[in-house]
Amino acid sequence: MAEGGVLEQDTDRHDGVTQSRIFDIPIDLSRPADMLRRITAWADDGHVRAPRRVMYVNAHVLNQSAETPALREALETADLVYCDGYGVRLAAKALDVEIPHRMTGADWIWGLAALCEAQGRSIYLLGSDPGVASKAAARLRRWYPRLQVTGTHHGYFDAGSPHDERVVEDINAKRPDIVLVGMGSPKQELWVEHNKDRVDASVLWTVGALFDYVSGRVPRAPAWLADNGLEWIFRLAVEPQRMWRRYLLGNPVFVSRVMAQARARQHPAGAARS
């Protein structure tokens, strides 16, 4: 890395996959369908190695990565990090790096379910409030009756606690191929890091509030908002008490960070002196 946090190289290749770097986080540039096929193919590795780690970034996660070193390290070392938010695409444009495709959980989950059903892969849903993951599993099975959902559990426990031990034991007893972890950031990423060498699965995948959408607990934004990068307005209107800090405070912070890095890229000598 160059002085002042400016990247010397903004696009690189890892295991044959092209990535853009935003705030030094490597973000996959593959198309969503290709990413899904790669992730499900990792199940062919069986359970003989540590699970592959799949994570996402949006403006909120990137903001938190600046404040939580353990989250930043998790994102930097994950096997695949993808874009889940228009803020990341806008940041890529402002920083003049290749723009990643956006892959949102409420969309890709159905493609994942179809692939898993066709290939005989199994999944485990971990996270959200009690009962929500099981409702999400029931809805997935309604559309994909042969989908193997080996188990579900809520996300209200702490990593390293006795409850956590029981959850890991349950997952290991059921040996799913893919564990979807929806606890919110940074808790979900830190849980994955804490348990990556203890969980008997092929893939650990952080998914945020995915189960809330799949279960129908939280409505999705209208397509005309989501397709134009304005989904955050809908989420703020639906859950103002939970989301106001993330969007009304977090979005301006994210924009200021992007602009600061863009200026540093244009004037690296000045960034080095500051």
Closest residue by Cα to residue 177 from 125, 103, 111, 105: 125
pLDDT bin (cut points 50, 70, 90) of residue 47 is: low
Options 3.40.50, 3.30.429, 3.30.379, 1.10.1740; CATH for 7-219 is 3.40.50
Among the ranges given (1-15, 138-152, 237-251, 257-271), the one the predictor scored with the smallest mean pLDDT: 1-15
Q: Is 1 exposed, middle or buried (0-12, 13-18, 19+ CB in 10 A)?
A: exposed
pLDDT at position 229, please? 76
Structure tokens at 227: 């397709």
Edge to edge, what strands does the sheet with 11-14 contain? 11-14, 17-22, 25-28
Which of left, alpha, beta for 108 (phi over 0: left; psi -120 to 50: alpha)? alpha
Give the Cα separation of 79 and 26 in Å (integer). Answer: 10
pLDDT bin (cut points 50, 70, 90) of residue 12 is: low
pLDDT at position 265, please? 77
Cβ distance 83 to 56 under 8 Å? yes
Cβ distance 106 to 214 under 8 Å? yes
pLDDT bin (cut points 50, 70, 90) of residue 6 is: very low
Structure tokens at 85: 């938010």
**Stretch 160-189: mean pLDDT:** 97
Instruction: Please name the residue that has the structure tokens 């830190």.
Output: 190
Give the Cα separation of 107 and 73 in Å (integer). Answer: 27
Instruction: Please name the residue that has the structure tokens 């692939």.
Output: 115
Q: CA-based Rg of the chain, rounded to a whole angstrom? A: 19
pLDDT bin (cut points 50, 70, 90) of residue 221 is: confident
Sequence spans of domains, the chain: 7-219, 229-273
